[in-house]
Structure 1
Amino acid sequence: MAIEETMDVAAALQINLGASLGTLLGGFIVFSPFLLRVVNPRAMAVWLSFAGGLTLFQSLVVLFPNSLLEFTDAFSSDESRGRDDDTIMGQAWLTTTGCFGVGIVLNYCLDLLVKQLTPGQRQSLFARMHAGDTFPASLEIGIPELKSPIDLMQSRHFLKVDESTKEKLQRLGVLNVIAISIHNMPGGVATMVASSEHTFIGLALAIGVGLHNIAEGIALATPVYFATGSKWKGVMWCVVASIAQHLGGFLAFGILGKDADNFSQGMLYGLVSGMLACISMKEVSLLRLALI
């Protein structure tokens, strides 16, 4: 069923907008000395795990069954005869599971693409937090005696670091924008796809995606802030990453908004379900790592 047949397109876009604003909200952490003080590896891991749990639930309970339903309808309406219900259901399950697996593979392909586009960054910002560093120290760029964001902000020592260090921080911010923008597109697709079924389903998924985006906004804004001393430059990069999620939403609209057949919709549901499940499990695993 196409988007126009189930809900207002404007409402779906607004839901996607709300989820994408999470990145911007996370970026505004640089305006709060208190929030900068409480950011630490364990808090970030718990936050991401909570968001990942919500997203994983939506992936397996909403998107995967919808994919199965669409494939069942597609095979049932096939003009070829001689297939009983068990055969149709088996084909639907096989195709849905295959699309789910392809979605997982696509997610890892995106990870490889990010690594190619961000040479020298062997671990993600959140993975490096597991080493027990404070938030900025996890950037591992050699700032001497850097113990907490708030101490740095109060002393304005970040304005006195050498130009090489500033360039490294700025480069890290740009690399984070590339990585997070690539990973935001599936979130936009998923939010639009979920909203195409029911508004409350889209809202539930948008909450999980939005919480995930808040953590990403923190990872984007803080390196730029400590490199330049400008809060608004950090927020600007968060806006860029938010736009990427909208592109994913428009991509989904381009597929579902033109009376797409059941097979195409089932394939999209399955792919997005696999991608979100993979991303969510990575986030949930962060909690285990942080608590070891």
Structure 2
Amino acid sequence: MLLAFLLTLLAGGATSIGAAIAVLGPGTGPRFLAGGLGLSAGVMLYVSFVELLPEGAAMLSGGETTPHGTAIAVGCFFLGIAVIMLLDRLVPDAVSPHEFSGRIDGAHDARDAEERAADTALRARLLRTGTVTAIALALHNVPEGFATFVAALQSPEIAIPVVAAIALHNIPEGLAVAVPVRRATGSRKTAFWLATMTGLAEPVGAVVGFALLAPLLSGAAMGGVLAAVAGVMVFVSLDELLPAAEETGEHHAAIYSLVAGMALMAATLLVL
């Protein structure tokens, strides 16, 4: 059991690699920001439509996908979107903007009031984006960690390639959280630790799932959760990540990175 937990911790801990790339690189530049946000959107869109939604439909169908199970999965998908849309409407656009009014790249003092106001609004939006992304990815990582843990308990030989693949696709997930949070707060430490916490949802999910929720996190219930999480991640990508990437003015960097994120996730899922 200890080995299974350590393997799950290793897979979740790979999120810190993506977070480190975000905080050690030139993370406040517009091209880097656009690339990081686009990459994150590509990862989340691809995994939602290609992995989570089909897997949810299969679970809701009891094995081989059926029209009935697919219909329920689609309903859960849009339910997830509806929930995150409601939460999005309840959160004010300006989230304590005075907290994010520090200097970035030493340029704050040279800008006029309108530019400073626009930057403050962007910081607030990016902080909300990073936080919502962290929550969505943490929810996604809980069942992922439980699955990794169970596989490791059954056969460590089977679990090792699974852990490797999950660790690979956790790296861009770390970027997905750390890039907007670093840009919003100007704090490398905050960005790194918030992203790391999303990865640690995997070993937490393993322990909690094994101890308490094993009967619930299986079959139809798990399928509905996966489909709903797919909806949340798609909404976050389209409503937050891509618009924020476009606002940097680096359109091509955003789109090329989105395609790269999809390709990266496709490669890791093929290995998985």
Relative to the length of structure 1, the TM-score reads 0.59
- Asked whether 1:215 is paired with 2:179, we answer yes
Which residue matches 1:98?
75
Which residue matches 1:184?
134
Which residue matches 2:170?
206
Separation in 2 of the partners of 1:284 and 1:174?
16
**Structure (1 or 2) with the larger CA radius of gyration:** 1
Which residue matches 1:118?
95
Q: Secondary structure at the match of 1:109?
A: helix
Map of 1:63-142 to 2, 5 A cutoff? 63-73=52-62, 89-115=66-92, 118-119=95-96
Residue by residue, what CA displacement relative to the aligned partner does 1:169-226 show, whole Å, maximum 9, x if unpaired? Answer: 9xx989976763443122122234345264355235313312213413422552xxxx
Which residue matches 1:17?
13
Change beyond 3 A, Cα 1:190–1:111 = same
Residue by residue, what CA displacement relative to the aligned partner does 1:233-254 show, whole Å, maximum 9, x if unpaired? Answer: x343235523642564466446
Change beyond 3 A, Cα 1:177–1:191 = same
Which residue matches 1:80?
none
Separation in 2 of the partners of 1:251 and 1:108?
27
Which residue matches 2:23?
27
Which residue matches 1:193?
143
2:225 pairs, out of 255, 268, 280, with 268
Separation in 2 of the partners of 1:97 and 1:219?
35
Which residue matches 2:155?
none
Which residue matches 1:155?
none
Q: What RMSD in Å do the two structures reach over aligned CA positions?
A: 4.1
Offset of residue 273 of structure 1: 1.2
The one-letter amino acid paired with 1:92 is G
Offset of residue 275 of structure 1: 1.4
Offset of residue 52 of structure 1: 1.5
- Asked whether 1:47 is paired with 2:43, we answer no
The one-letter amino acid paired with 2:232 is M
Which residue matches 1:279?
236
Which residue matches 1:60?
49
Offset of residue 111 of structure 1: 2.9
Offset of residue 19 of structure 1: 1.2
Offset of residue 278 of structure 1: 1.9
The one-letter amino acid paired with 1:237 is T
Cα contact 2:48–2:231 (8 A) shared by 1 = yes
The one-letter amino acid paired with 2:72 is T
The one-letter amino acid paired with 1:180 is G
The one-letter amino acid paired with 1:191 is N
1:145 pairs, out of 101, 106, 110, with 110
List gaps (5 residues or longer) in structure 2.
149-161, 253-272
Separation in 2 of the partners of 1:215 and 1:55?
15
Cα contact 2:95–2:124 (8 A) shared by 1 = no
Relative to the length of structure 2, the TM-score reads 0.62
Separation in 1 of the partners of 2:91 and 2:10?
28
Offset of residue 24 of structure 1: 4.8
The one-letter amino acid paired with 1:267 is G
The one-letter amino acid paired with 1:72 is S
Which residue matches 2:195?
242
Separation in 2 of the partners of 1:204 and 1:240?
19
